[in-house]
Every structure is written in structure tokens, then in C-alpha cells.
């Protein structure tokens, strides 16, 4: 199975429907409680159609969904930022990272392949490598933007600690250890901490 959508139109529709259903069910029920029958019902497809597209079943669905989220993450983070001063560009990239995770509450689990052992499916192992490559590219791109803006610490380390702060804040929020107001305060602190190390005095 490839992680990308099939070229055949009918298979592509089934592929997309199953991934859309998985995104709903994995968030609502969790990966372990989601069954192939539940997926088929939510996607309005036959169980046999799921296995025709995802040979190893649920683990392959999870891997393909993780890859779809990774590609959307890359697209959201990599879109051009027109006419921004370097410091504002750093702030805008940080804001996009925050917005992506706000809009995709499963992203942290999916991108880490938290719920599936890569030994469960060849697709999961392939997804892990491809996702690691995508995330590595985003880190390097963001680090380059920080470097261009001027930075008083090692740029890659600054990017990683800012992303870790966002990830940690969202993880606490998803576990209901903090409310949304506290989450927003934490994200604001993480943003301010990042920009404190970035050169320039323009508004960000």
C-alpha cells in the first residue's frame, strides 16, 4: 500500500472517505476502540473496500492518515509569507504552527505514530521515515528564518524549544490538565520567549 491517495478516481474517493472517518473516530473513540466495522460505517463503505485500500487494516489507515496530516502540516507551514520583515516572518511561522495544532487536535499523536507500533505494518514504518523527513525539513526551514532574522542563541535549538513548548501546552490541554484560557496564556508565553531571542524591533 502507498501512503498517498490512489490515482484511480473511485479508489481515491474511498481512500479519502476512510481517512476522513478515521480522523473523526480516532479523536472521538480513540485508536484502540475504533474497529474496521466502525470505520466502514462512518465512511459509508464496505469493509472489503477498506482492506482493498489498506491491506493491513487499521494500522495502515492510521499510517496513511498520519502521512496526510504531515503533508498538510508542511503545506501550512511552508506557504509564502508576503512582504514580512524577518522578525514578523518568524512570528508568522510560529503562529501557523500553533494554528495547525489548534485545528488538528490529533496531529501530535498522529505525527508521532503514538498509537501504532511500526512493526504492525510496513506502511507505518514507511510513514515514520517520511514524517520524520518532513518534520526535519520544517525545522530546518524555520531555523533558517530565525537565523535570517538574527538570533542570540543557536537557532535550531530555539526552534525546537519553542515547538516543544507548544506541543507540551497542547498535550496538557488535550489531557484536560489546563483549560483553554490557560492554554492561550502558555502559547503567548512561548511566542514571547521565542521572539525575545530574535533580532529587530518591528511589531510581531
Return the CATH number at 66: 1.10.357.10
Note whether residue 204 is domain-resident.
no
Q: How confident is the model at residue 148 (pLDDT cuts 50, 70, 90)?
A: very high
Note whether residue 112 is domain-resident.
yes
Note whether residue 3 is domain-resident.
no
DSSP string covering 93-141: HHHHHHHHHHH-TTHHHHHTTTTS-GGG-HHHHHHHHHHHHHHHHHHHH
Q: How confident is the model at residue 128 (pLDDT cuts 50, 70, 90)?
A: very high
Containing structural domain, residue 112: 9-196
**Coil/strand/helix, residue 198:** strand
pLDDT tens per residue, range 39-69 = 999 999 999 999 999 999 999 999 999 999 9
Note whether residue 201 is domain-resident.
no
**Coil/strand/helix, residue 31:** coil
CA angle 118, 7, 133 (to 5 degrees): 40
- Can you tell me the distance from the alpha carbon of 201 to that of 195, in angstroms, rounded to the nearest whole number? 10
Task: Tell me 5's DSSP state.
Answer: P
Note whether residue 1 is domain-resident.
no
Q: Are 66 and 127 in contact (CB under 8 A)?
A: yes
Among 142, 116, 143, 138, residue whose Cα is nearest residue 127: 116
Longest dimension (CA), the chain: 59
pTM for the structure as a whole: 0.90
- Can you tell me the distance from the alpha carbon of 110 to that of 112, in angstroms, rounded to the nearest whole number? 5
Strand partners, 151: 198
CA 72 distance to own-chain centroid = 8
Lookup result for grid cell 518591528 = 202
Q: How many domains does the chain have?
A: 1
Note whether residue 136 is domain-resident.
yes
Amino acid at each position: 500500500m502507498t501512503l498517498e491517495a490512489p490515482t484511480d478516481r473511485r479508489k481515491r474517493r474511498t481512500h479519502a472517505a476512510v481517512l476522513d472517518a478515521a480522523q473523526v473516530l480516532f479523536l472521538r473513540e480513540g485508536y484502540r476502540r475504533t474497529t474496521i466495522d466502525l470505520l466502514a460505517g462512518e465512511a459509508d463503505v464496505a469493509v472489503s473496500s477498506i482492506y482493498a485500500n489498506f491491506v493491513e487494516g487499521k494500522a495502515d489507515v492510521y499510517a496513511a492518515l498520519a502521512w496526510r496530516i504531515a503533508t498538510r502540516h508542511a503545506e501550512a507551514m511552508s506557504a509564502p509569507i508576503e512582504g514580512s520583515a524577518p522578525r514578523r516572518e518568524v512570528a508568522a511561522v510560529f503562529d501557523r504552527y500553533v494554528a495547525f495544532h489548534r485545528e488538528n487536535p490529533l496531529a501530535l499523536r498522529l505525527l508521532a505514530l503514538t498509537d501504532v507500533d511500526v512493526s504492525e505494518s510496513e506502511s507505518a514504518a514507511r510513514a515514520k521515515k517520511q514524517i520524520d523527513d518532513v518534520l526535519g525539513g520544517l525545522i530546518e526551514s524555520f531555523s533558517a528564518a530565525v537565523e535570517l532574522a538574527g538570533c542570540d542563541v543557536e537557532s535550531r535549538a530555539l526552534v525546537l524549544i519553542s515547538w516543544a513548548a507548544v506541543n507540551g501546552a497542547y498535550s496538557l490541554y488535550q489531557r484536560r490538565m489546563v483549560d483553554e484560557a490557560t492554554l492561550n496564556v502558555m502559547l503567548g508565553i512561548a511566542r514571547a520567549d521565542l521572539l525575545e531571542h530574535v533580532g529587530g524591533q518591528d511589531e510581531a
